[in-house]
Amino acid sequence: MQIQDKPPHETPFEWIGGEEKVRALVDRFYDLMDLEPGYAALRAAHGNTLENARQRLFWFLCGWLGGPQHYTDRFGHPRLRMRHMPFSIGIRERDQWLACMDQAMGDVGIDEKLRVRLRDSFFQTADWMRNVGA
């Protein structure tokens, strides 16, 4: 790796701006899910309230990005696929999740280079979470 190829920070968590920026990202993500008709299938999968999901995603993303391990400290290994099995996740839900997260990253001003890296990682994870054919 060339020195110019090195990311500007040790972890994506530092690069994104720490807990404050992760919180802003998560809040914008769930606000968009609640407001935008294009994310209706995604929103429907979350039940009446988003507070629990909002908090858990914040805890999870902090650790996943290389910051504090709030989620694993509380619940152990994330076991994402197992925890999402009760929900029907197909291509539509995956694509809505990814579009909503990408829009949220843009809205809160995530650096474009980091946004591209995260978009790729989010796709791999979201696609792995699918448990129905379409």
Whether the model clears a pTM of 0.85, i.e. scores above it, the answer is: yes
Q: Which of 26, 120, 131, 104 is nearest to 71 (CA)?
A: 26
Instruction: Evaluate whether residue 7 is within a structural domain.
Output: no
Residues whose CB falls within 8 Å of the CB of residue 17, separated by 6 or more in sequence, listed in order: none
CATH code for position 63: 1.10.490.10
Check residue 69 and give its pLDDT. 96
Q: Is residue 1 part of a domain?
A: no
Residue 8 belongs to a domain? no
Residue 82 domain flag: yes
Q: What is the pLDDT of residues 45-92, one digit of tens each?
A: 888 999 999 999 999 999 999 999 999 999 888 888 878 777 888 999
For residue 5, pLDDT over 80 is answered with no
**57 is a domain residue:** yes
Specify burial of residue 80 (Cβ count, 10 A radius: 0-12, 13-18, 19+).
middle
Give me the pLDDT at residue 3, please: 53
Residue 101: give the domain boundaries: 14-129
Q: How many domains does the chain have?
A: 1
pLDDT mean over 96-116:
97
